[in-house]
Structure 1
Amino acid sequence: MMEVLLQTYYILLPIIATALVGWVGVLLKDQKKKEKDRDEIQKRKEAEQGQVRCGIMLILRYMLKRYHAEYMIQGKITYNQYKDWMDLYSAYESLGGNSIAVDWNNDIEDMEKCDSTEEMSPFESMVLQGIKQ
């Protein structure tokens, strides 16, 4: 009887060991695939964030350019306009900015600051003239 049990044990042991090794292999393969998929998702998210960041920088640069032109035509800048400028410039700079924005900021910093301008901004004047035509 003992011999039968030992022979059964010797026959079943390699089969069970092979099955266990195969099962562990499948688990490791699945885990590796999940990690690869997670890495790909992370890379896609980073690429999308880079595109969003680039888009935001373009919009901020456009706004800085427009405000710079408006304020330079105006010849002076109100404290409210200056605060708006600094908010935009800070956001642009924190995203990486570029040297032209530094030049624009230097121009704005050198401008006379006042409580209000007597007339509306040049941009508003241009818009109103466009509407009337």
Structure 2
Amino acid sequence: FLKTIDENMQKIIKEHVKEQVKVQVSKILPKIEQTVNEQLEAEVLTRNLYKALVDAYKSDKTILDTCGDIVTLKRRRDDDADKDEEPSAGSDRGSKRRREGKEPESGSAPKEKATRSVGKSTQGSKSRQTSASESATVEEP
């Protein structure tokens, strides 16, 4: 008789424990799912951001490579144009000498100063450089 009561009590306790576990799991499981989903979303977001960063880097590199080619072509054109210019028309000659550390030998000092100030910008039209050097020469005594 005691054995039957003991078995029945164990069955009741097991059923009660099962019910309590189900209740606790039903409370905890949504929190676990939410946490796992948040972590998964964060991981997906991190991967997407990394992929976007890599794509942006590749795009920038492609653009810079393309621009570098264009700048190289532009420099070659400018160099070819400089070769075709007359020596007196180009203000780059003085800047090249200054870069090498040699000063051009000229009788008028103000003209050198004007050439230096204009020669700093190697790009621009010839007419602007010529008119600027003429006006600078006229203004100085």
TM-score under structure 2 length normalisation: 0.49
Q: Percent identity, please.
A: 4
Structure 1 gap ranges (5+): 1-5, 88-113, 117-133
* Match 1:22 to one of 27, 33, 41: 33
Which ranges of 4 or more aligned residues in structure 1 deviate by more than 4 Å? 6-10, 79-82
| Matched positions, count | 85
- 2:94 counterpart of 1:83: no
TM-score under structure 1 length normalisation: 0.51
**Offset, 1:75:** 4.1
- 2:46 counterpart of 1:35: yes
- 2:69 counterpart of 1:54: no
Give 2:11's aligned residue.
none
Larger Rg: 2
- 2:126 counterpart of 1:115: no
1:1-58 Cα shifts (integer Å, max 9, x gaps): xxxxx86654311232233212211111111101111111111111111111111111
| Higher strand proportion (structure 1 or 2) | 1
Matched residue SS, 1:62: helix
Alpha-carbon RMSD: 3.0
Higher-RCO chain (CA-CA 8 Å, sequence separation at least 6): 1
Matched residue SS, 1:83: coil
